[in-house]
Amino acid sequence: MTPISMKAYVEAFGNPSEQLGIRLEEKKELKTDEVEVRMQLSPVNPSDLIPIYGRYAHRVTLPLVPGYEGVGVVERVGKGVSRRVLGQRVLPLRGEGTWQTVVHAPAALAVPVPDSLSDETAAQMYINPVTAYVLLTEKLKIPSGGMLVINAANSVMRRLLIQLAAGMNIRVVGLVRRRAVINELMQLGAHKIIAAKEGEEALQLESVLQGEKADAAVDMVGGASGTALARSVKPGKTLLALGLLSGRPLDWEYTTETLGVKGKMFHLRHWNAAVSGERFQQVFQTLFHMMESGRLLLPPVQHTYPLGQAREALQFYENGKNSGKIIFSRP
């Protein structure tokens, strides 16, 4: 009997729940330097949905299998890979999309997972933790005692930034929409969390900071919220833009020319392209140790769907009912 793999796929750009399909295929030939991983869990992240909408259409080839991260077990190895990794639990990264039951990935970039981490935790250890860690340790270089201002502070990545920054003696001042999350974010280590309505961010930040300027900012919203962050940063320091939740771009000319703030975009794929395989693996080992010691916490998975129900999961996500992390399991 021919081995079969189930995969979620997209053949046209548009609304993810409408464009996503499920199909069964024969397993492909394994390349010499690859491992074949039977997936256990694959999360749904906003970054997984962006290419489905077609926002990166110029560099996306259809049909597309979405998914950037997940955890599974090595079932087969290429001719150039040691058989000792068979049966090992790994993160099969930077290969095929992870929303499928079997993933082929470069063996050198398959990250071994310690037994101490659950599948739910391991599956989420790439996109958000690595981004937060790289921002603080390589891109922003905020001094001990310095200040970082952020918006969308209740997102998973921002929660990780708060925790990592607290361990580095960096004060985080964050903007949120809902007062209900303030206490929880403060317990994670934030210096100050401000609930501000749209359009009121700049006034609220100025009131709280009382003339003090931040050493850096991370913007995921754009528009007025991103501009408010830029106004709170010292001239000559950096604002990194990661997203555009408002749908409105940051005013780059005002940020750089009028305020004198260094505005930059950050894309994890650019870091991936520049970093060595050894450094890539080292970052994960550092993050695993932080997770094992309790210095870093990820929010629990709230909703698990079999991969065959991926379309229903995305409908749930898009309908605004999502109150936590969604993850795909084996069919």
Are residues 207 and 231 in contact, defined by beta-carbon separation less than 8 angstroms? no
Q: Is residue 186 part of a domain?
A: yes
Range of 11's domain? 4-124+298-329
The answer on 198 and 154 residing in a single domain is yes
Q: Is residue 277 part of a domain?
A: no
Q: Is residue 215 part of a domain?
A: yes
Q: Is residue 282 part of a domain?
A: no
Question: What's the CA gap between 228 and 226, in Å, rounded?
Answer: 5
Are residues 250 and 263 in contact, defined by beta-carbon separation less than 8 angstroms? yes
Q: Is residue 187 part of a domain?
A: yes
The answer on 114 and 37 residing in a single domain is yes
The answer on 117 and 59 residing in a single domain is yes
Q: Residue 13: CB partners within 8 Å, gap ≥ 6? A: 19, 52, 53, 54, 57, 60, 62
The answer on 256 and 131 residing in a single domain is yes
Q: Is residue 147 part of a domain?
A: yes
Greatest distance between any 2 Cα atoms in the chain: 71
- Which among 123, 118, 120, 68 has a CA at the least distance from the CA of 98? 68
pLDDT of residue 321: 56
Q: Give phi and psi for 218, each to the nearest 5.
A: -125, 120
The answer on 158 and 58 residing in a single domain is no
Tens place of pLDDT per residue across the chain (331 aa): 457 899 999 999 999 999 999 999 998 899 999 999 999 999 999 889 989 998 878 888 999 999 999 999 999 999 999 999 999 999 999 999 999 999 999 999 999 999 999 999 999 999 999 999 999 999 998 999 999 999 999 999 999 999 999 999 999 999 999 999 999 999 999 999 999 998 899 999 999 999 999 999 999 998 999 999 999 999 999 999 998 776 788 999 999 999 999 999 999 999 999 999 999 999 999 999 999 999 999 988 989 999 999 999 999 988 865 567 899 998 8
Q: Is residue 283 part of a domain?
A: no
The answer on 164 and 76 residing in a single domain is no
Domain holding 60: CATH number? 3.90.180.10
Domain holding 194: CATH number? 3.40.50.720
CB atoms within 10 A of CB 206: 13
Beta-bridged to residue 149, according to DSSP, are 173, 217
The answer on 142 and 93 residing in a single domain is no
The answer on 146 and 117 residing in a single domain is no
Work out the angle between the directed axes of helices 223-231 and 201-209 (0-180°, nearest 10). 20
pLDDT of residue 259: 97
Q: Is residue 263 part of a domain?
A: yes
pTM summary value:
0.94
| C-alpha angle 137-114-80 in degrees, rounded to nearest 5 | 95
The answer on 322 and 262 residing in a single domain is no
Give the burial string for 132-154 (b: 16+ CB within 10 Å, else e): bbbbbeebbebeeebbbbbbbbb
Give the 3-state secondary structure percentages of the chain, helix then strand then coil, rounded to 5. 35, 25, 35
The answer on 104 and 234 residing in a single domain is no
| C-alpha angle 76-124-66 in degrees, rounded to nearest 5 | 65
Q: How many domains does the chain have?
A: 2
